[in-house]
């Protein structure tokens, strides 16, 4: 695989993670359990969609077929999205949303820390910018995981259930194929082992403080990086793409 093609594919994966999770989190707008959390989740969604915009525009440039960020966001079909299965999962209760976000933030922070030194300057710039935001996200979600896990019996049981339900999607975070090996060789991206070590440390530290147990069932599910998704993504896209599908090329 040539470098340019691999980089396009990689940037698209990062972009789709941000876009799909950003859309999911934005579904909380106006529905948060308390006003402060409504605002916090909306801010988080805004950061993710902002990151997605930078990444998708860059992916469009790399692809070189005249598609911009909007075309990539709104005019692809389900099988063309390369996001992790984790990020497309439905919001569930507040605890499930926080757990999903925590499992993701614990991966994104070390990833952006490494990517800000990428030999690809454009990707490095996006990572440098996004890292500052991601640190706040991880702080927020870690604190909530601990508060809910080490909270009441009800909150403990419910967030443990969320962890049990989402755990099978975490293996895919470290999915690796040709795209990765080409870019690692060019010093564009870090190896996934480095990121995984940091992710595992954060997960263990926080879950221990939260008195939560990592599921012993090691059944895994993956496919998002290859465009094979769970049922959840189709519904999300139907809502996200509605305007462009109903009124093609409409602009504000």
Partner 1 sequence: MVTEKEIWNYLEEVFDPEIPVLTVVDLGVIRSVELIEDKCKVVITPTYSGCPAMKLIEEEIIAKLNEKGISSVSVDLTLSPAWSTDWITESGKQKLLEYGIAPPQDEVDKSVLFAEPPKVPCPQCKSVNTRMVSLFGSTACKSQYQCNDCLEPFDYFKCLK
> Which residues lie near partner 1 (CB under 8 A)?
36-37, 39-40, 43-44, 46-51, 53-54, 121, 124-126, 128-133, 135-136, 138-140, 142-143, 202, 206
- Which CB, 59 or 206, lies closer to partner 1? 206
What are the tokens at 230?
């769970």
Residue 93: phi, psi to the nearest 5?
A: -85, 180
- Report in angstroms how near the CB of residue 27 gets to partner 1 at its nearest: 16
Between 83 and 118, CB nearer to partner 1: 118
Q: Shortest approach of partner 1 to residue 33 CB, angstroms?
A: 13
DSSP characters over 142-202: HHHHHHHHTS-HHHHHHHHHHHHHHGGGSGGGG---HHHHHHHHTTSS--HHHHHHHHHHH
Which residue, 97 or 142, has its beta carbon nearer to partner 1? 142
Residue with smaller CB distance to partner 1, 138 or 233: 138
Angle at 129 between CA 126 and CA 135, to 5 degrees: 125
Q: Is 80 helix (H, G, I), strand (E, B) or coil?
A: helix
Dig out the tokens for 144 from the structure. 């909530």
CB of 190 to partner 1, least distance (A): 18
Rounded to the nearest angstrom, the gap between the alpha carbon of residue 247 and the centroid of all alpha carbons in its chain is: 28
**Least distance in angstroms from the C-beta of 222 to partner 1:** 27
Distances (CA, A) of 76 to 16, 28, 106, 227, 239: 11, 24, 28, 11, 13
C-alpha closest to that of 159 among 87, 103, 201: 103
Closer to partner 1 by CB, 117 or 245: give it: 117
Shortest distance in whole angstroms from residue 142 CB to partner 1: 6
In the complex, what is the shortest distance from the CB of residue 153 to partner 1, in angstroms, rounded to a whole number? 24
Nearest residue (CB) to partner 1, 93 versus 143: 143
Question: Which spans in the chain are helix H?
Answer: 3-26, 35-63, 69-74, 85-88, 94-115, 121-149, 153-166, 178-185, 192-209, 231-240, 242-246
User: What's the closest the beta carbon of residue 138 comes to partner 1, in angstroms?
Assistant: 7
Q: Which is nearer to partner 1, 49 or 165 (CB)?
A: 49
């Amino acid at each position: 695989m040539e470098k340019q093609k691999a980089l396009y594919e990689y940037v698209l994966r990062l972009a789709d993670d941000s876009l799909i999770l950003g859309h999911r989190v934005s579904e909380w707008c106006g529905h948060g359990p308390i006003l402060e959390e409504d605002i916090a989740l909306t801010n988080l969604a805004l950061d993710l969609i902002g990151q997605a915009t930078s990444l998708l525009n860059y992916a469009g440039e790399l692809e070189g077929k005249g598609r911009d960020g909007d075309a990539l966001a709104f005019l692809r079909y389900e099988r063309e999205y390369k996001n992790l299965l984790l990020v497309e999962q439905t919001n569930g209760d507040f605890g499930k949303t926080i757990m999903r976000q925590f499992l993701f933030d614990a991966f994104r922070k070390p990833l952006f820390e490494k990517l800000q030194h990428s030999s690809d300057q454009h990707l490095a710039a996006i990572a440098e910018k996004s890292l500052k935001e991601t640190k706040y996200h991880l702080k927020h979600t870690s604190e909530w995981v601990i508060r809910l896990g080490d909270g009441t019996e009800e909150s403990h049981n419910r967030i443990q259930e969320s962890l049990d339900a989402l755990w099978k999607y975490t293996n895919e975070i470290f999915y690796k194929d040709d795209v990765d090996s080409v870019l690692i060789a060019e010093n564009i991206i870090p190896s996934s082992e480095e990121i995984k070590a940091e992710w595992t440390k954060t997960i263990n530290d926080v879950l221990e403080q939260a008195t939560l147990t990592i599921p012993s069932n090691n059944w895994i599910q993956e496919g998002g990086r290859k465009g094979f998704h769970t049922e959840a993504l189709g519904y999300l896209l139907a809502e996200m793409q509605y305007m462009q599908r109903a009124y093609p090329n409409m602009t504000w």
